[in-house]
């Protein structure tokens, strides 16, 4: 008991709720209650909210219904394909966002005072992570004792404000003003093909490239200009698939040197030099930047990329 209050501990989750001994448990709210409500308000669908929260959709429905019971309000209209905010629910969204902002700020600040040991989560382009970073990090394992790295390969930009990652490697300068960022190097590209294409006439060339979603990337724009209307046998949003298609002989592709230069199944068509160079940026939120382990991994990434520069350009 604390000043007539009762401390209730949840054995399944690391949460503590302080209740007045005269109050019923249903009157107590937690951040988790608000979090489920806010994510469902954002997504509008149980399945999408569940995916974002990493739980089953039945859990989202149960938690939101329990919140409605606690508040004595109906927050959502249940429709066959969506959950739509009621007027009461809509009025509470702004308050929920402010609570979320404070919770995330608390999380970032606490990470900034963290220990040297622990987990550091890195968001990086998938193929860059798997074909460049991992092997080089393994060679210097003794330089990050006591640290577990979570490497998340993803094409999208992780939201560092929401602690989706501690560090993010990006191929363009971060636009978010509050983020701290530093350049680490650059990635060069070349026109690669399987050996058989070297013997074919240029007017019979076919190409492998990105689909519409990634058509505006610098290397794809260059490849489109080079193709000059010649056909693309395959388009994809996956660099790994593009690499394999090129190896299999489906056509010529603009590939990063770190991926293709050492591949004996491919040849660089040097008569068509690719001028594209993509900058590598490392982004971190200033609150997290103070963490000793985050700083250690950030410096490690900078060193690894600098030491591997010859494979990149």
pLDDT in tens, 93-139: 998 888 887 777 776 666 555 568 889 999 999 999 999 999 999 99
The parent domain of residue 216 ranges over 187-276
pLDDT in tens, 218-239: 999 999 999 999 999 999 999 9
User: Considering 95, 112, 129, which residue would you say is the last residue of a domain?
Assistant: 112
What CATH number is associated with residue 242?
Answer: 3.40.190.10
Total domains, the chain: 3
**Quick one: 9 and 97 in the same domain?**
yes
> What is the DSSP code (8-state) at residue 10?
-
User: Considering 66, 91, 112, which residue would you say is the last residue of a domain?
Assistant: 112
The helix or strand, by DSSP H or E, that contains position 135, with its residue range, turns out to be: helix 134-139
pLDDT in tens, 48-57: 999 888 899 8
> What is the DSSP code (8-state) at residue 19?
E
**Quick one: 156 and 192 in the same domain?**
no
Cα maximum dimension of the chain: 87
Block residue for tokens 């050996």: 195
In this structure, the strands spanning 118-124 and 167-170 are: parallel
Q: Which of 142-146, 174-178, 185-189 has the highest mean pLDDT?
A: 185-189
In this prediction, residues 53-75 reach a mean pLDDT of 91
d(CA 168, CA 282): 6
pLDDT in tens, 284-297: 988 888 889 999 99
| Secondary structure class of 288 (helix, strand, coil) | helix
SS (H, E, C) 172-227: CCCCCCCCEEEEEEEEEEEEEEEHHHHHCCHHHCCEEEECHHHCCCHHHHHHHHHH
Res. 5 pLDDT band, cuts 50 70 90: very low
Which residues have CB under 8 Å from 166's CB, separation 6+? 111, 120, 121, 122, 160, 284, 288, 291, 294, 297
**Quick one: 25 and 82 in the same domain?**
yes
pLDDT above 90 covers a percentage of the chain that reads 69
> What is the DSSP code (8-state) at residue 20?
E
- The whole-model pTM stands at 0.69
């Amino acid at each position: 008991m604390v000043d007539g209050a009762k401390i209730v501990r949840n054995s399944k989750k690391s949460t503590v709720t302080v209740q007045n001994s005269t109050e019923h448990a249903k009157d107590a709210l937690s951040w988790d209650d608000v979090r489920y409500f806010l994510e469902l308000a954002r997504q509008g669908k149980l399945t999408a909210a569940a995916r974002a929260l990493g739980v089953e959709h039945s859990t989202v429905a149960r938690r939101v219904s329990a919140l409605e019971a606690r508040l004595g309000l109906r927050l959502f209209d249940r429709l066959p394909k969506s959950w739509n905010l009621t007027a009461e629910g809509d009025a509470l969204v702004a308050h929920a966002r402010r609570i979320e902002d404070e919770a995330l700020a608390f999380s970032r600040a606490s990470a900034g005072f963290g220990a040297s040991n622990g987990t550091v989560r890195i968001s990086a382009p998938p193929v860059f992570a798997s074909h460049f970073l991992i092997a080089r990090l393994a060679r210097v394992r003794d330089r990050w004792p006591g640290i577990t790295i979570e490497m998340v390969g993803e094409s999208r930009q992780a939201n560092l404000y929401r602690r989706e990652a501690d560090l993010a490697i990006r191929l363009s300068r971060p636009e978010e003003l509050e983020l701290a960022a530093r350049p680490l190097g650059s990635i060069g590209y070349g026109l690669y093909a399987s050996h058989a294409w070297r013997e074919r006439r240029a007017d019979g060339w076919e190409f492998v490239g990105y689909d519409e979603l990634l058509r505006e990337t610098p290397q794809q724009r260059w490849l489109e200009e080079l193709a000059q209307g010649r056909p693309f046998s395959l388009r994809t949003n996956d660099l790994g698939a593009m690499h394999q298609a090129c190896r299999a002989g489906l056509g010529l592709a603009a590939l990063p040197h770190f991926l293709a230069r050492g591949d004996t199944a491919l040849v660089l068509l040097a008569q068509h030099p690719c001028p594209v160079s993509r900058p590598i940026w490392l982004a971190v939120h200033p609150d997290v930047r103070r963490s000793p382990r985050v700083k250690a991994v950030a410096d490690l990434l900078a060193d690894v990329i600098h030491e591997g520069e010859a494979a990149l350009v």
